[in-house]
Amino acid sequence: MMQRTIAKPVEIVGVGLHGGNPVRLRLRPAPEDYGIVFVRDDLGLSIPVKTENVVDTRLATVIGAKGATISTIEHFLSAALAMGIDNLEVGIDGDEAPIMDGSAASFCLLFEEAGLAAQDKPKKAILIKKPIEVRDGDKFARLSPGKSSEVLFEIKFDHPAIRRQKYRFVFSRENYIKEIARARTFGFLKEVDYMRSIGKGLGGSLDNAIVLDEKRILNSDGLRFADEFVRHKILDAIGDMAFLGAPFLGRYEAFAGSHHINHLLVKALLSDPQTYKIVDAEGAKSPAKELERAFA
From CA 218, how far away is CA 186, in angstroms rounded? 11
- Give the separation between CA 253 and CA 90, rounded to whole angstroms: 29
Output the CA–CA distances (angstroms, integers) from residue 84 to 1, 44, 248, 294, in the order listed. 11, 27, 12, 9
18 among known catalytic residues: no
Identify whether residues 149 and 180 lie together within a single domain.
Answer: yes
Q: Are 172 and 75 members of one domain?
A: no
Checking DSSP bridges between strand 54-56 and strand 62-65, what pairing results, if any?
A: antiparallel
**What CATH number is attached to the domain comprising 118?**
3.30.230.20
Specify the pLDDT at position 59.
84
Cα–Cα distance measured from residue 132 to residue 80, given in angstroms and rounded to the nearest whole number:
25
| The pLDDT of residue 198 | 74
- Among 18, 259, 260, 263, the one annotated catalytic: 259
Q: Where in the sequence is the domain holding 81, given as residue range(s)?
A: 2-122
8, 153: one domain: no
CB 266 within 8 A of CB 244: yes
Q: How far is CA 87 from CA 77, 141, 261, 280, in A?
A: 12, 27, 26, 15
Look at residue 156 in the predicted model and tell me its pLDDT.
97
Task: Let me know whether 115 and 181 are in one domain.
Answer: no
Q: Give the residue from 122, 144, 172 where a domain finishes.
A: 122
Residues 143 and 275 in one domain: yes
Domain finish residue from 94, 122, 150: 122
Query: What is the total count of domains within the chain?
Result: 2
Mean pLDDT of each 10-residue bin along the chain, 296 residues long: 96 89 96 98 97 94 97 97 97 96 98 97 95 97 94 97 97 96 94 75 87 95 97 98 96 97 98 95 63 70
pLDDT given for residue 20 in this prediction: 82
Whole-number pLDDT of residue 123: 95
